[in-house]
Amino acid sequence: MKKKKESYVLGPLLQRIAPTIGASVLMEPEWKIAGQITFKSGKRSYFRFNTLDINPMGSSEIARDKDYSFFFMKSLGYSVVPDSRAFYSKEWATVIGAPEQNIDAAYAHAKKIGFPVIVKPNNGTHGKGVAVVSNKREFYPALREIFKSDRVALVQQYVSGKDYRLVVLDDEVISAYERIPLNVTGDGKSSIQELMEAKQKTFSKLGRDTIINFKDRRILKKLKNCGYTLSSIPTKGEKLFLLDNANLSTGGDSVDVSNNIHPHFKDLAVRLTKDMGLRLCGVDLMIKGNIYEDSQEYWILEINSAPGLDHYVKTGKAQEKIVESLYTKILKHMDR
């Protein structure tokens, strides 16, 4: 299937809602990815892709680097994914004078902490390159795939639970949703390939620009581990998860939990955002139980200083209204 060019919703959305607070948005016309917001007060602000200039630059840069952000979050006493370490491509290890932190050292670390482990790009987004690997045969290809697009890879202890994204604006959690990995449910007659194709059609009808990669090595590996292939026919009602990461951009589903968060997790997300020097932040949590209850074991997966809601807004009309309301609130805070 031909890959569709990704469209960014932030610019058009801001152009639509800015007049409701007396502001206006000027978009750069050729590429339509950068814009200028002029508020009623005369104050001007800028954005590019999904990044608004509400956050300080230094804090934003730290948040973009998973390894650095893990270091500071851990030093502040937050529960991060254990045994996370950064390793470098051969070329970058040579440039920075750290040849010992190469792919072989990464494998040695994985063996030490015990398989399965999580591997991910240090600066990646949308869940690209994130994989759970179980042995040496899977480990090396996964790291080499990461090094095609990022010179730094993280190797972490595997943790499991429910995956949540909380979006914080200053002192408030303005949005929260559970992220469920790409999955299909058997009907007793369709193959997994056909079920995935049906899911892709559903995405298109909903206006989501998510494109399922039917040749994704991670999907094929997960199916193989379950004893399936793309031509296998699951039984009626059987639910199969096709990826380990739950990003909406890779076909995951979302369940809004904004009104059901335990105060403990609200306070945690707001405190973390402030401690990392941010005003607007996406906090990704893996919770062993659920977000409705206190005292649940959790890990911070990462933070995001530009928590674009493109894929969330494209999951349905209700979500579109929610996102319009959220960005109206963000614009008002930016004008302070």
pLDDT in tens, 282-331: 999 999 999 999 878 999 999 999 987 665 665 667 777 888 998 999 99
The pLDDT, as a whole number, for residue 107 is 98
Q: What is the mean pLDDT of residues 142-161?
A: 96
Backbone CA torsion sign across 57, 267, 71, 107: negative
Residue 80 DSSP code: B
Closest CA to 303 of 118, 70, 75, 132: 70
Cα–Cα distance for residue pair 78/268, rounded to 1 Å:
9
> Could you read off the pLDDT of 259-286 as tens digits, one per residue?
999 999 999 999 999 999 999 999 999 9
> Could you read off the pLDDT of 24-54 as tens digits, one per residue?
999 999 998 999 999 999 999 999 988 999 9
Q: Enter the tokens of residue 204.
A: 């298109």
The pLDDT, as a whole number, for residue 215 is 87
Q: Enter the tokens of residue 167.
A: 């979006």
> Could you read off the pLDDT of 227-243 as tens digits, one per residue?
999 999 999 999 999 99
Q: What is the mean pLDDT of residues 105-122?
A: 98
Cα–Cα distance for residue pair 147/149, rounded to 1 Å:
5
The pLDDT, as a whole number, for residue 310 is 64
Cα–Cα distance for residue pair 143/108, rounded to 1 Å:
13
Cα–Cα distance for residue pair 65/122, rounded to 1 Å:
6
Percent of the chain scoring above 90 in pLDDT: 76
pTM of the model: 0.90
The pLDDT, as a whole number, for residue 127 is 79
6 has a pLDDT exceeding 60: no
Cα–Cα distance for residue pair 164/23, rounded to 1 Å:
32
Strands (DSSP E) contained in the chain are 24-27, 34-38, 44-48, 51-52, 85-88, 117-121, 131-133, 152-157, 162-169, 172-180, 183-185, 239-241, 253-256, 280-287, 298-304
Question: Which H or E run includes 224?
Answer: helix 217-225
> Could you read off the pLDDT of 192-229 as tens digits, one per residue?
999 999 999 998 887 777 889 888 889 998 999 899 99
